[in-house]
Amino acid sequence: MLSSSGRGARIAPVVVVKTALRNLGIAVVGAAAATAVYAWLVEPRWLQRTRTMLHHARLPRALEGLRIGLLTDLHASRDTPAGLIARAVRMTMAEAPDLIAITGDIAEDEAVLEATLDELAALRAPLGVYIVPGNHDYRDVGIERWHDAVSRRPSLIDLTNDARVLELSASAPVGVGGNGNGGNGVGGKGIGGNRAGGVIGAGADEPIRLCIAGVDDLSEGRPDLHALHDRACRDFTILLAHNPDQAERARRGVDRVDLVISGHTHGGQVRLPGVGAIVNSAAHPDLYEAGLRRRPWTQVYTSRGVGTVHLPVRFLTRPEIAILTLTGAPRDRLTGWRRRR
């Protein structure tokens, strides 16, 4: 017969194991709850400003240091409040970019479209503020209403299947820089852009022709690159496209572009450590999720965007405003160019 002390010795390890399992369960549930709260209440509003240097070996000297502000996928709605969008606009303006690109998915409801565009219309840049639609601008707002609303805000230049060529020269600027009342410095065909930190110019009499182009949404619209001028009439081309997969269609010599800036993917919106994005809306998810991708014929920058879609959560994919700087300097392969804040 076992003594009472022997039974106690056997029971004690069982109690320890049960206690450990209970504590582990509590810890797991607590961690899951904390992660859910973070993904729902914290990260979707934790706006991040990223700065990325884009190396281009044949960048015209006139464009050295040109800075592009990229805003995309605002998805203005109850889940993406006006305050977050206003903060994104302020953060972009604080960077004083030379031009600003807005690449679609502005609002998820007709009721907030006008107010959201009013906020975006406050953006100013010496070389202009350009906008193209995304798939949700078709589905949730209606593309006719979208174009009409944009057209009533002259500071926003609708580049849907369109292109502008800006002639930049330090010695003989075409047009003017920013005007006296804070408007965009876009006048007619070209810009002679004075900006903080110096003059954008080639330092020669021959102007540099910067082509800024845009296309309709790839999935809902009818993207068309025929508006691009002949390659011989443009020295550097930037293409605004909501969907980064558009880059795969800009491969021919007649319409090849130097830089594609886009959004659409939200960076997957939810990423898991060691797994990556759970869902990626790009047709080439291995190429286009977020950040910079170099292709043999172009470079593509895909922003994570500002808002959310389907579910108002983000995890390991903070909302982003991107500041892209062009340089012809050799890329530092050791430290890279990207800096985050």
Residues 252-287 pLDDT 10s: 766 779 999 999 999 888 888 888 788 888 778 778
- The pLDDT, as a whole number, for residue 280 is 80
Q: What is the pLDDT of residue 197?
A: 32
Coil, strand, or helix at residue 35? helix
Q: Give yes or no for residue 318 having a pLDDT over 60.
A: yes
Is 17's pLDDT higher than 80? no
Choose from 22-36, 285-299, 327-341 the range with maximum mean pLDDT: 285-299
Say what the pLDDT of residue 324 is: 98
Of 301, 305, 326, 323, nearest to 239 (Cα)? 301
Which residue has better confidence, 157 or 254? 157
Residue 292, C-beta contacts closer than 8 angstroms, at least 6 positions apart: 52, 54, 299, 300, 301, 338
Mean pLDDT on 88-94:
97
The token pair at 131 is 């906008």
Q: Any idea what the CATH number is for the domain that residue 72 is in? A: 3.60.21
Residue 27, domain extent: 1-45
Cβ-proximal residues to 273 (8 Å cutoff; 6+ apart), any chain? 316
| Residue that has been written with the tokens 């960076």 in this structure | 267
Per-residue model confidence (pLDDT) at position 9: 54
Instruction: Say yes or no: 129 and 32 in one domain.
Output: no
Q: 283, 247, 253, 268: which is closest to 314 by C-alpha?
A: 268
Does one domain contain both 157 and 237? yes
pLDDT at 25: 60
267 and 306 within one domain: yes
- Is there a single domain that holds both residue 100 and residue 9? no
Q: Which of 290, 294, 299 is nearest to 319 (CA)?
A: 290
Taking only the tens place, the pLDDT of each residue in 218-260 is 999 999 988 886 777 899 999 999 999 999 888 776 677 999 9
Q: Are residues 12 and 53 in the same domain?
A: no
Q: Average pLDDT in the 61-90 region?
A: 95
Q: What is the pLDDT of residue 20?
A: 62
**Residue 297: half-sphere exposure toward Cβ, Cα within 13 Å:** 12
Closest CA to 215 of 188, 184, 255: 255
What's the Cα-to-Cα distance from 219 to each of 9, 222, 229, rounded to whole Å? Answer: 69, 8, 24
* Neighbouring residues of 140: CB distance < 8 A, sequence distance ≥ 6: 107, 108, 109, 110
Is residue 211 within 8 Å of 167, Cβ to Cβ?
A: no
* 155, 113: one domain: yes
* SS3 at position 38: helix
Reported in sequence order, the residue ranges of 29-91 that DSSP labels E, i.e. its strands, are: 48-55, 67-71
Q: Are residues 261 and 278 in the same domain?
A: yes
Q: Inform me whether the pLDDT recorded for 204 exceeds 80.
A: no
pLDDT at 182 over 60: no
Q: How many CB atoms lie within 10 A of CB 312?
A: 17
Residues 97 and 192 in one domain: yes
Rounded Cα gap, residues 250 and 218, in angstroms:
12
Average pLDDT in the 329-341 region? 56
Asked if residue 161 and residue 70 are part of one domain, the reply reads yes
Residues 102 and 172 in one domain: yes
In the predicted structure, residue 152 carries a pLDDT above the cut 90: yes
Residues 20, 147 share a domain? no
Confidence of residue 24 (pLDDT cuts 50, 70, 90): low
Looking at this protein, which amino acid is placed at residue 154? P
pLDDT band at 201 (very low <50, low <70, confident <90, very high): very low
Say what the alpha-carbon torsion angle 315, 319, 212, 301 is, to the nearest 10 degrees: -30
Predicted confidence at residue 174, as pLDDT, reads: 32
What pLDDT sits at residue 333?
A: 54
Q: Angle formed by the axes of helices 143-151 and 110-120, to 10°?
A: 30
pLDDT at 19 over 90: no
Per-residue burial over 223-232, b = 16 or more CB atoms within 10 Å of its CB, e = otherwise: bebebbeeee
Q: For 82-197, where are the alpha helices, taking DSSP H only?
A: 82-94, 110-120, 135-136, 143-151
- The mean pLDDT of 316-337, rounded to a whole number, is 82
Q: By the 8 A CB rule, do 212 and 240 touch?
A: yes
Alpha-carbon span 262 to 288, nearest angstrom = 10
**Domain total of the chain:** 2
- Least confident window among 12-21, 151-160, 290-299, 306-315: 12-21
Residue 260: partners with Cβ closer than 8 Å, 6 or more residues away: 238, 239, 241, 244, 246, 247, 250, 298, 299, 300, 301
CB 160 within 8 A of CB 188: no
Residues 54 and 30 in one domain: no
- pTM across the whole model: 0.82
